[in-house]
Amino acid sequence: MSHWFSYPNIDPIAFRIGPVAVHWYGLSYLFGFICVFLWMNRPAGRRRLGLTSDQIQDFLVYALVGVLVGGRTGFLIADWITKHNFADYAAHPLKFIAIWEGGMAFHGALVGVILAILLFLRKHPGLTFGILGDEVVPLLSIGIFTTRLVNFINDELPGKLCNPDHPYCVTFPAYPDGPRYPSQIFEAILDILTLPVILLVYRSRPPDGVVAWTWFTIYGITRSVAEIWREPGFTVLGLDGGQFVAVVQIFIGIAMIAYSYRRGVRTTTRMENAPA
């Protein structure tokens, strides 16, 4: 059976600057943060946020720390649950922070960013979670899309074993036990399809928080679907770990969308530091 494509064997290192290796993984994160900054820093975004460009950059530092700490912590917890390998980490403490080897959990990063938002809001009275969240999420799908492509490049997070007769199956070098679903590609496609939906919701100018919680809900749906093909790490109530969290995410998102509409508050311009 001929397959549509084979694993491309792309070097995880994009380029080197002297002794420093720059990985595609890091570039995908950088690209995502640039997209978020450009959206938030446009004049309409700054007016709604009531923040200067420097303050938006300050927020992104908070968000970056949240992503790194939350994402790594989530990965470590999942790794310990599935592999029971805490002793290995204790024997090699550098592994706790070895994000250059991969190993970031999306939902851990999401929790980290939410905590970062709450901390940032304490410095800016009057700026609400709904307003800030609405301006963070519109282009977030682009960064997630590129990161899933890098997961494929890095030969990580493979899908389940699949029927070799399926032309879209791939044999991953690190998993030579048979063809697997390219679940990273499937998830990347689902993520990028979220983009036009969120932009349409944003253009409708809904109450504060609706855009953010709509993205939150849709990601829960797409992640639940993507988990059908992903290799499960551990199960909870008959669902694999990622799918269980995604289902919970859907219910939270729907409840918060309803709450945001019920409040009915729409902020167009927040006066503090609003640019002319």
Residue of 180, 186, 182, 175 lying closest to 163 (CA atoms): 180
Q: Work out whether the CA dihedral 221, 226, 229, 232 comes out positive or negative.
A: negative
Is 148 part of any known ligand binding site?
Answer: yes
> 128-132 contacts: CB < 8 A, separation 24 or more?
128/208, 128/209, 128/267, 129/209, 129/212, 130/207, 130/208, 130/209, 130/210, 130/212, 130/260, 130/265, 131/48, 131/49, 131/208, 131/209, 131/267, 131/270, 132/49, 132/59
Helices 210-226 & 129-136 angle (0-180, nearest 10): 50
| 29, HSE (Cβ side, Cα atoms, 13 Å) | 19
Binding site residue list: 148
